Structure 1
Amino acid sequence: MLFRILSILGLASLAFAGEPTLDTGNTSWMMTATALVMLMTPAGLALFYAGMTRTKNALNTTMMVFAAYALATVVWVFWGYSLAFGDDVAGIIGSLKHIFLNGIEYSDLESSGYPSYVFVAFQGTFAAITVAIASGSIIERTKFSTWLVFVILWGTFVYAPIAHMVWGGGFLYNAGALDFAGGTVVHMNGGLAGLVAALMIGKRKGYPKTQMMPSSIILTALGAALLWFGWFGFNAGSEFAADGVAGSAFLMTNFAAATAAVTWIILDYIKFGKPTLLGTASGAVAGLVAITPAAGFVGVIGALIIGIGGSVFGFFGVTVLKKIFKYDDSLDAFGVHFIAGLWGALATGLFALKDLAWAGSPLHDHGDRLGQMIVQLESVAVTIIFTAIMTAIVLKVSSLLTGGARVSEEAEVEGLDATIHGEKGFNL
């Protein structure tokens, strides 16, 4: 009996010494958050994009997003996770120590007491939606085979390094860069990749003179609502615990999105004289994008300003910037995700609350807001330069391996639903 008591006390002392124990509350929350983020891609983003696409390409657009989720998840488990969160190599990439999840057991726990396998799954949903975002810039003219190769290479050579630099122990992480849930890692990264790919593949036939009507704005609004719903897991889940910060991130996410949606309605009235459902849905998404890097770091005033700014800058990207430079960003992935994400990444440095954001930052003790802004600018600059160059290389290689990235003129005119998949999105 005495031995049993001493054994129990000994185990207790190990727990107090820092060994994590299973926390069922945190485990339940993180599994739920992972499921919410999963819903965002093959359901939310797919519908959001498909509704904006012409009827003859709606199924192909959905298929590009759906396939990206599946293929990126396979890549993530095979080697992507290890490259993003493995042992640091030169501050830029992780090692292949955990290839095929080698060395990670189902019983391993993260510091807040939930299984490491859940962390792998949660982070994998981020990798998948990031590359799927890029598809919105190149739909209606891209070979599906090229897209599949691009997803594999881009997830390996673009997403994984950026995730490691910012989140996985790389040099931006160590410098104190703040990105709560993916302003640089996800939205700037995916949005800029989309623009680079769109410029390389070229404009759709007839753009911008030919009117290209969306297949269903109702579907787009439904997709935006599912994205909004899933975003609670995206942002609040990034606290990795069911605690007060997660609760704050949950509220700020909802508040910023609502603020941005209302702001876009006002902007529609000012510019067009009419409020549009497409604009309202786009505004909500722009607000969600903007608050993502700041969700767990800011209070109500910060969320309000970030939400309004996300909508204003997103509106500018979609209605002004695109017309000035005349690029064919089909579904405004760059205008909404990159532009609003850029604003959010920088605004995080401006509005982050010291006690929430800087607790583990090397800038915390000095309360160095200027220093934080410099680090935020550095993380933005690194993301832009690295993503632009590496995306161009990856798309070029993908194009060479598949005999060109663009479909034939005949296929583009007929529509990719029929020519690539032999199906129709709508049998009207």
Structure 2
Amino acid sequence: MGNWEVSVGSMLAIVLILVSLTVVDARMLPVAPWVRSVLLSLACAGTGIVSWLMLASVLLPDVTEPLFLPVAVLGGVASYLATIAVRSAGGGVVVTLVFGLLWSLLVYVPTAIRSFSSFVPSWSMGILPIDHGGSLPVNVAAGAAALGVLICGGSRVKTATITRTTGLLGVIGLCSGWIVWLAGAEFAVDDVSPSILVNGVVGAVGGMVGWLVVQRIRHRSVTLNSVAAGLVSGLVAVTAGAPLFTPVSAAASGVLAGAAACVFTLSRVGKSRRQQWYVVGTHLVAGAVGVVLLGLLATNMGFAFTGSVALIQAQIVGTIVVAAYSTVVSVVLWLALRSFASMVRRRRVASLT
């Protein structure tokens, strides 16, 4: 199978991830007619895709390789996740789309360019974190965007609900698309592909186990939402290093990421009553755990194998830089857009009186 066939398959897998996320994450979005909610979600994703195609085409004019288009679609996933908190905090359609566009241009595109090493050989600081499936530009950066918006506070709108059957279908689609993407990110079907698939499955199961154990201890309950959150946390944990984990280390990363994400999320949701903290827990926290653990457990490269701290240092620094940068940009964007929208509303009311 050629690279372009794998590229097309990867794009279809990412589209499945995006569609499934719009289902699984519906409980974090404002109540709205189904068609309107889906269209806005797709529009938010479109800002990420357009941003990549516009800016990356300028910064990387000679790149025609199969990786270029899948990374564009991956930008749609990142922008969708980054705008969930904006939508739930009362951001209107225009504010949400402007936030998604500017965040993608300022955060996703430069982070993705530096995360996929075939585009740029190293980061400007001389570090080169390993990121096989784009966990830094998607999970860490988008989760940090949600964190930035949530810490600014704001209004809290009523969120939607989904049926158990719909949620189950969304979880199945999400896991299937994510695992296929992890294999497709290799952009070749070779002897590594089976191990990537296995690591994706055991990582997801490990994340579910870690999340459910913590939730069972703290709340003595198991729900479909907690199963979904655990599976996502486990998949996020192995995204950066699916080819470099063994099944045992992938499972361990999933368990630790799921447990850490659960502790963080349940604590924040319990105090704030905002379901959007799930984005921060399952993507930022789980992603950070997975990226850092790769520096420890990467086969023949991590600290556990070589005793060298170089890789784990690169993983830690890369994670901190991306998370901090995305959080700051998101805070500035949200405060500026919220103030501008409030000013427009005041002037509109004044003109009518």
Interval containing the TM-score (normalised by the shorter chain): 0.7 to 0.9
For residues 64 and 331 of structure 1, the distance between their equivalents in structure 2, rounded to whole angstroms, comes to: 20
User: Contact 1:34 / 1:125 at 8 angstroms: preserved in 2?
Assistant: yes
Asked if residue 38 in structure 1 is aligned to residue 18 in structure 2, the reply is no
Aligned to 1:299: 246
Aligned residue runs from structure 1 range 195-344, under 5 A: 195-200=147-152, 202-204=154-156, 214-323=161-270, 326=272, 328=274, 330=276, 332-344=278-290
Aligned to 2:349: none
Structure 1: gaps of 5 or more residues: 1-23, 87-97, 109-115, 207-211, 407-428
User: Contact 1:69 / 1:132 at 8 angstroms: preserved in 2?
Assistant: yes
Code of the aligned partner of 2:266: T
For residues 390 and 287 of structure 1, the distance between their equivalents in structure 2, rounded to whole angstroms, comes to: 27
Query: Matched residue of 1:338: which SS?
Result: helix
Question: Going by fraction, where is helix more abundant, 1 or 2?
Answer: 2
Asked if residue 78 in structure 1 is aligned to residue 25 in structure 2, the reply is no
Query: Matched residue of 1:339: which SS?
Result: helix
For residues 140 and 52 of structure 2, the distance between their equivalents in structure 1, rounded to whole angstroms, comes to: 20
Aligned residue runs from structure 1 range 58-77, under 5 A: 61-77=37-53
Change in Cα spacing, 1:216 to 1:82, as seen in structure 2 (3 Å) is farther
User: Contact 1:52 / 1:216 at 8 angstroms: preserved in 2?
Assistant: no
For residues 321 and 57 of structure 1, the distance between their equivalents in structure 2, rounded to whole angstroms, comes to: 28
For residues 331 and 380 of structure 1, the distance between their equivalents in structure 2, rounded to whole angstroms, comes to: 19
Asked if residue 135 in structure 1 is aligned to residue 83 in structure 2, the reply is yes
Offset, 1:149:
0.8
For residues 123 and 205 of structure 1, the distance between their equivalents in structure 2, rounded to whole angstroms, comes to: 32
User: Contact 2:7 / 2:187 at 8 angstroms: preserved in 1?
Assistant: yes
For residues 214 and 308 of structure 1, the distance between their equivalents in structure 2, rounded to whole angstroms, comes to: 28
Structure 2: gaps of 5 or more residues: 346-353
Aligned to 2:112: 163
For residues 338 and 268 of structure 2, the distance between their equivalents in structure 1, rounded to whole angstroms, comes to: 28
Q: Work out which of the two has the higher radius of gyration on C-alpha atoms and give 1 or 2.
A: 1
Q: How many residue pairs end up in the alignment?
A: 340
1:351 to 291, 297, 300: 297
For residues 367 and 292 of structure 1, the distance between their equivalents in structure 2, rounded to whole angstroms, comes to: 22
Offset, 1:261:
2.1
Aligned to 1:379: 318
CA deviation digits over 1:207-247, x for unaligned, max 9?
Answer: xxxxx673434433322221111112321122121112233
Change in Cα spacing, 1:266 to 1:393, as seen in structure 2 (3 Å) is closer
Query: Matched residue of 1:353: which SS?
Result: coil
Aligned residue runs from structure 1 range 140-151, under 5 A: 140=88, 141-151=90-100
Aligned to 2:130: 178
Structure 1 range deviating more: 253-262 or 397-406:
397-406
Asked if residue 124 in structure 1 is aligned to residue 72 in structure 2, the reply is yes
For residues 314 and 62 of structure 1, the distance between their equivalents in structure 2, rounded to whole angstroms, comes to: 27
Give TM-score scaled by structure 1 length. Answer: 0.72
For residues 344 and 75 of structure 2, the distance between their equivalents in structure 1, rounded to whole angstroms, comes to: 22
CA deviation digits over 1:357-376, x for unaligned, max 9?
Answer: 68xxxx9xx94531211111
Code of the aligned partner of 2:14: V
CA deviation digits over 1:380-420, x for unaligned, max 9?
Answer: 121122112222233344445655699xxxxxxxxxxxxxx
Give TM-score scaled by structure 2 length. Answer: 0.86
Change in Cα spacing, 1:394 to 1:193, as seen in structure 2 (3 Å) is same
CA deviation digits over 1:284-319, x for unaligned, max 9?
Answer: 111111111121111111111011112101111211
What is the aligned-residue RMSD (CA, Å)? 2.8
Offset, 1:121:
1.2
Percent identity between the aligned chains?
20
Aligned to 1:209: none
For residues 277 and 163 of structure 2, the distance between their equivalents in structure 1, rounded to whole angstroms, comes to: 13
For residues 124 and 49 of structure 2, the distance between their equivalents in structure 1, rounded to whole angstroms, comes to: 25
Offset, 1:164:
2.6
For residues 151 and 293 of structure 1, the distance between their equivalents in structure 2, rounded to whole angstroms, comes to: 23
CA deviation digits over 1:72-111, x for unaligned, max 9?
Answer: 222222224544xx2xxxxxxxxxxx2xxxx56xxx5xxx
